[in-house]
Amino acid sequence: MKLSLQNVVKRFGTHTVIDRASLELDGVHCLALIGPSGGGKSTLLRIIAGLEYPNEGRVELNGRAIEYDDEALLRHRRSIGTVFQAFNLFPHLTAFQNIVLPLEKVHGRTKAEARELAEGTLRRFQLLDHAYKKPAELSGGQRQRVAIARAIAIKPQVVLLDEPTSALDPEMTAEVLELIEELKGEGRDLILVTHEMGFARRLADQVALLANGTIAEIGPPEQIFGAPKSEVTKGFLSRVLKY
Ligand SMILES: Nc1ncnc2c1ncn2[C@@H]1O[C@H](COP(=O)(O)OP(=O)(O)OP(=O)(O)O)[C@@H](O)[C@H]1O
Ligand SMILES: [Mg+2]
């Protein structure tokens, strides 16, 4: 994937949450965004997803600038898969319907196509046995796997994940991390916000540390975790790796 951020600024009221963030990446398959709470990771991911607009600056994904008019945004959102922190499944629908419905309503697939895609994806993730359960009847790990299945049912080239394991216990975390690793293995490009430093280290080819709305440091995991250059990175890692 190719990703370019050029002086991206996002303000909420008078609060500048993203403060001239810039980066240029090419040929990257997994970008991990790490950094302290409130640093702007989710906001930046939502901007890349086209769910939030920047006040200033420019974002390009795979050579195409994100344009902030309704039609272009909708096209952009449809072209990528997104999985956010809190499971955003429809509570009144079964796992199967949760996948089928957006395929029909958002992506314009016929009912038959949508059902076939949903079934194939659920089978792949060993979720067929749970297809007719509603979210409340699934474990946290299963729920998050359904959310990921839904995001990738359209086979997007780029998948954005915001702390996909933050609500899970260690065993379920492992289950979901395995699935994410598989996505990378099958050639999808990932942008991943994560608190799992070990996972970021193993999976990412570039790691960006975001603090106070700016990219304090970006580089391969060996640099960020092995020989960080920025004091901000050093401070952050010494805090999170302490326990
Ligand atoms: N819709 C909003 N309105 C006002 N302020 C917001 C909004 N969304 C985020 N913020 C603020 O922007 C800052 C960055 O938030 P963001 O969610 O991007 O951080 P984060 O790095 O994802 O943190 P965490 O690791 O806790 O998820 C925070 O100070 C937050 O309070
Ligand atoms: Mg966040």
Instruction: Please give the distance, rounded to the nearest whole angstrom, from the Cα atom of residue 94 to the centre of ligand 2.
Output: 27
Q: What is the pLDDT of residue 87?
A: 63
Number of other CB atoms surrounding residue 101 within 10 Å: 15
Residue 62 has pLDDT above 90, yes or no: yes
Q: Are 19 and 9 in contact (CB under 8 A)?
A: yes
Q: What is the pLDDT of residue 241?
A: 85
Q: What is the pLDDT of residues 105-153, one digit of tens each?
A: 989 999 999 999 999 999 988 899 999 999 999 988 889 889 999 999 9
Residue 175 has pLDDT above 90, yes or no: no
Residue 170 has pLDDT above 90, yes or no: no
Task: Please work out whether the CB of residue 214 comes within 6 Å of at least one atom of ligand 1.
Answer: no
Helices of type H across the chain: 41-49, 70-79, 95-105, 111-124, 140-152, 170-185, 197-203, 221, 231-240
* Per-residue b or e along 116-141, where b marks 16 or more CB atoms closer than 10 Å to that residue's CB: ebbbebbeebebeebbebbbeebebb
Query: From the CA of 36, which ligand is nearest?
Result: 1
Instruction: Please give the distance, rounded to the nearest whole angstrom, from the Cα atom of residue 85 to the centre of ligand 1.
Output: 13
Q: Whose CA is nearest to atom 2 of ligand 1?
A: 12
Taking residues 193-213, what's their average pLDDT? 95
- pTM for the whole thing? 0.94
Q: What ligand 1 atom has the least distance to the C-alpha of 15?
A: 5
Task: Please work out whether the CB of residue 86 comes within 6 Å of at least one atom of ligand 1.
Answer: no
198 or 166, which is more confident: 198
Sign, CA dihedral 113-114-115-118, equals positive
Instruction: Please give the distance, rounded to the nearest whole angstrom, from the Cα atom of residue 109 to the centre of ligand 2.
Output: 32
| pLDDT above 70: percentage of residues in the chain | 99
Question: Which one of 3.40.50.720, 3.40.50.2300, 2.60.450.10, 3.40.50.300 gives the CATH number of domain 3-240?
Answer: 3.40.50.300
Instruction: Please give the distance, rounded to the nearest whole angstrom, from the Cα atom of residue 162 to the centre of ligand 2.
Output: 7
Domain-by-domain residue ranges, the chain? 3-240
Task: Please work out whether the CB of residue 14 comes within 6 Å of at least one atom of ligand 1.
Answer: no
Q: What is the pLDDT of residue 240?
A: 92
Taking residues 21-45, what's their average pLDDT? 97
Q: What is the pLDDT of residue 141?
A: 86
Task: Please work out whether the CB of residue 40 comes within 6 Å of at least one atom of ligand 1.
Answer: yes
Number of residues that this document lists for the chain: 243
Task: Please work out whether the CB of residue 39 comes within 6 Å of at least one atom of ligand 1.
Answer: yes
Lookup result for tokens 């690793």:
181
Taking residues 49-64, what's their average pLDDT? 95
Q: What is the pLDDT of residue 125?
A: 86
Q: What is the pLDDT of residue 214?
A: 96
Q: What is the pLDDT of residues 88-99, one digit of tens each?
A: 899 999 999 999
Confidence of residue 166 (pLDDT cuts 50, 70, 90): confident
| pLDDT above 90: percentage of residues in the chain | 80
